[in-house]
Structure 1
């Protein structure tokens, strides 16, 4: 197995050299004679190493098939082999992989050897590994699915069930129809009026979401499910919070997504779908304002019965406790996470200190018209020597603090297939 690992590492180095030669060729130009000769020589080396890997892997399979257990000595009972049980909870495989890479000092092939020694030979199966600047990095294509599945229930936007589409090249452009053809009835030999169909586009480009999580090496040295759970929960909670912050209310820059709150800004739907709360709220006005939001979607041919509410905790508590003139709860379904037969998502990422300091906002979003583009898997980098800034902005050194720094990177963007799929009620002082 060590020979196979060494051959794979050698092949990766050869391919990197080939890629460097290709990258050095000017766009639209051809390789020089020297570059062509060097590329052909590297290709021959790669073919030879690939053949050696195939032979070594075939030998490993044959050796395993021919292996026979040793006969036990008389009077000696052989202990049963112990293999770590697979974690029952989702996300623990991701955390166990992270901890193993940290224990290996960020060196991929050492991490594989540690996993095999601990009975986790399949931990890094079918994964893509290489070495990075700050340490080893891992793009766990299989495990990333598991982690993202857990991230979605934590994130309000992704918990609504938007359309998730891949962006293999880091960007995606989708055409959307802005207006349709108009058909009319007419009589015999009357001209048929021609009406055009106009189109728009929704463009997604990968925005990088990244974060650093310092982890005590004392914890990483402990092969415990509790430690795996802590690593997983820290990574998920931090990523979900920031993702929601920008998916909901991000102003939109070259490096950050434009949130659902601002998608209609500067469009014809800004005046119809960005509404203002009716002053001096009471039950009748609250009910009317909620109906106005639903009507905004309905008048744009968006089926509002499939929409979801997004609101701050203060607003949700107000609606939960609101009573009619007889003392009955006005919206008893709020206790079951529903409002007017639509799911309610509560998040602190919708502020309640806007305007004069007491205003909040409510969103009504139809997730079928929300596009979330995802690029690559989750990239993990580990380092025991890197410096980092803590929450107070003070520089810390992982080496002197006996810590391992986990860096997690995801790339994604958000947009709307149809702009009128989001209605916003602003200036909400309910519960203030």
Structure 2
């Protein structure tokens, strides 16, 4: 590898000399005999270096091919002698290495590729056409971005439920939304059969751009470490999941932002039946009745609510965990295993506890994930900057240059919708766990 880099550097120097020689010839004049001789000598040197480089690169490829684990013979189940099963690669680390290498290269894709090869990681950008990067950004290869998105799904409350993930190649998708069921009935001979078929509305998904900026210490980026790659990956996944949940759960829905669960019912007949209000002065019976009412809203519309999932704030979850009956027994002991009335519970701070007139109310959602659609478009795009400014968690403007940081901007595009609006019920005005 060192010899290959040496030859590439030598060729670059030779070509620079050839350029300088040609530039020294005045426009319209021919090269002197001495200049021609010098140019031919440089060309011969470059040809020799190119031939040797081609030979070494071919040898490098052959070494890599020979190092691969041999394929088993047809019908053979035993491992090849002298080999051990390869340990599965940890997902998302390739993304972390890409980010770290591009950042160290100052955002220059070509330089990043050369750096990867110099560090013995020649395959890092092998499947990426460096010219396909967007202006100021880098489109992460599909196989790498898929790994990151797969890691994102269990971290995000909404996608952890297992909704239907559908691709949006053109950034838009329109599909039917079920409104009412088929019309079947019994009848006698020569009697008209009831008209059958579903009544449909439409759910329209359009790619909404989720972008975020993650500051990374340059001290970390200077270190070629798997731990650093893992830290970059985890920061990207956790930050993206938090903002995704914020809008998938309670996004008001605009041209540029998704409409979350909380506002899917507005303006539909389900607004009156599926957006419920907590019973005042809650006690054990009232709490149980309110939870049952949420289940009943799904059940009355033929939604198998036993397959639904609860989503609530930490305060609401802690109240239900600690709730006891008159004998001191826990009312919902299964809350210790994140289950409630035999259904999974997802806890997130993206459902606030400061809603309502008094600023102390929260919400609880019950949704069947089989009727949730998440459309995904593109993949992941990243860009780097060491000069840009950003606002920290407290809203203070920070300068990456003075803090010796590199900013990573990550962009994904997606949208969310419900194929059946009846598959979601919401309890508002929840003050469980407060004095209100």
TM-score w.r.t. structure 2 length? 0.77
Cα distance, 1:207–1:391 mapped onto 2, change above 3 Å = same
CA distance in 2, matches of 1:386, 1:163: 38
Q: 2:71 maps to which residue?
A: none
Cα distance, 1:152–1:183 mapped onto 2, change above 3 Å = closer
**Residues 225-236 of structure 1 correspond to what in structure 2 (within 5 A)?**
225-236=226-237
1:197, distance to aligned residue in structure 2 (A): 4.2
Q: 1:384 maps to which residue?
A: 386
Q: 2:350 maps to which residue?
A: 349
**1:245-287, Cα deviation, whole Å (9 max, x unpaired):** 0000000000000001111111111111111111111111111
1:309, distance to aligned residue in structure 2 (A): 0.4
**1:317-363, Cα deviation, whole Å (9 max, x unpaired):** 01101111211111110001111111000001111111112211110
Q: 2:165 maps to which residue?
A: 164
Cα distance, 1:292–1:278 mapped onto 2, change above 3 Å = same
**1:375-405, Cα deviation, whole Å (9 max, x unpaired):** 0111011122334344455544433433211
Q: 2:254 maps to which residue?
A: 253
Q: Which ranges in structure 2 are unaligned for 5 or more consecutive residues?
A: 9-52, 65-85
1:92–1:228 contact (8 Å) kept in structure 2:
yes
Q: 1:79 maps to which residue?
A: none
Q: 1:176 maps to which residue?
A: 177
Cα distance, 1:260–1:128 mapped onto 2, change above 3 Å = farther
CA distance in 2, matches of 1:191, 1:217: 76
Q: 1:141 maps to which residue?
A: 142
Q: 1:401 maps to which residue?
A: 403
SS in 1 for 2:130: strand
Cα distance, 1:317–1:59 mapped onto 2, change above 3 Å = same
Cα distance, 1:358–1:379 mapped onto 2, change above 3 Å = same
CA distance in 1, matches of 2:392, 2:327: 54
1:382–1:407 contact (8 Å) kept in structure 2:
yes
1:363–1:425 contact (8 Å) kept in structure 2:
yes
TM-score w.r.t. structure 1 length? 0.78
CA distance in 1, matches of 2:120, 2:403: 30
**Residues 232-311 of structure 1 correspond to what in structure 2 (within 5 A)?**
232-311=233-312
Cα RMSD (Å): 2.8
1:226, distance to aligned residue in structure 2 (A): 2.7
Cα distance, 1:188–1:313 mapped onto 2, change above 3 Å = same
**Residues 4-403 of structure 1 correspond to what in structure 2 (within 5 A)?**
62-64=58-60, 89-130=90-131, 131-134=133-136, 136-192=137-193, 194=195, 197-355=198-356, 356-403=358-405
Cα distance, 1:173–1:61 mapped onto 2, change above 3 Å = farther
Deviates more, 1:180-189 or 1:350-359: 180-189
CA distance in 1, matches of 2:315, 2:241: 21
2:430 corresponds to 1:424: no
1:307–1:365 contact (8 Å) kept in structure 2:
yes
SS in 2 for 1:426: strand
SS in 2 for 1:125: coil
Q: 1:10 maps to which residue?
A: none
1:374, distance to aligned residue in structure 2 (A): 0.4
1:88, distance to aligned residue in structure 2 (A): 5.5
2:178–2:419 contact (8 Å) kept in structure 1:
no
1:128–1:139 contact (8 Å) kept in structure 2:
no
1:140, distance to aligned residue in structure 2 (A): 2.6
Cα distance, 1:58–1:291 mapped onto 2, change above 3 Å = farther
**1:123-164, Cα deviation, whole Å (9 max, x unpaired):** 223234335544x52323111111112211211001111111
Q: How many corresponding residue pairs?
A: 365
Larger Rg: 2
Cα distance, 1:335–1:133 mapped onto 2, change above 3 Å = same
1:151–1:236 contact (8 Å) kept in structure 2:
yes
SS in 2 for 1:348: coil
1:58, distance to aligned residue in structure 2 (A): 9.6
**1:85-121, Cα deviation, whole Å (9 max, x unpaired):** 9995432221111001111111112212211221222
